[in-house]
Amino acid sequence: EGALEQYLDDTMKNPSIVGVLCTDAQGHNLGCRGSLSDEHGGVVSVLARQAASLTKDPTDSPTVCLESDCGNILVRTHGTITVAVHKMAS
């Protein structure tokens, strides 16, 4: 899993990104950094799954954006994994 860990570290090097999280379809945490941690895995995966049921097109994966005054959290599913990125507004 070295490749994944390395990639998560590289992602965090971006100054506006303060958190990143990868989960599988059941909410099991595959890797996280920064402001996003284990307990967010379940919520993130469920949000992405519910958003995906909004569209009938199975290839169209929606990006869920949670906007707040302390940054945005963008959640996207790709294949079997869901990735959430907590990014500060620049």
Q: Does residue 9 bind another protein (CB under 8 A)?
A: no
Q: Is 72 in the site for another protein (CB under 8 A)?
A: yes
Q: What is the distance between the alpha carbons of residues 12 and 15, in angstroms, rounded to a whole number? A: 7
Neighbours of 1 (CB within 10 A): 7
What would the x/- binding string for another protein be over residues 39 to 68, using CB under 8 A? ----------------------x-x-xxxx
Counted residue by residue, the chain has a size of 90
| C-alpha 58: how far from chain center | 19
Query: Residue from 22, 32, 36, 47 that binds another protein (CB under 8 A)?
Result: 22
Pick the closest to residue 76 from 88, 58, 64, 89 (CA basis).
Answer: 64
Residue ranges in contact with another protein by CB under 8 A: 1, 3-4, 6-8, 11, 20, 22, 30-31, 61, 63, 65-70, 72, 74, 76-83, 85, 87, 89
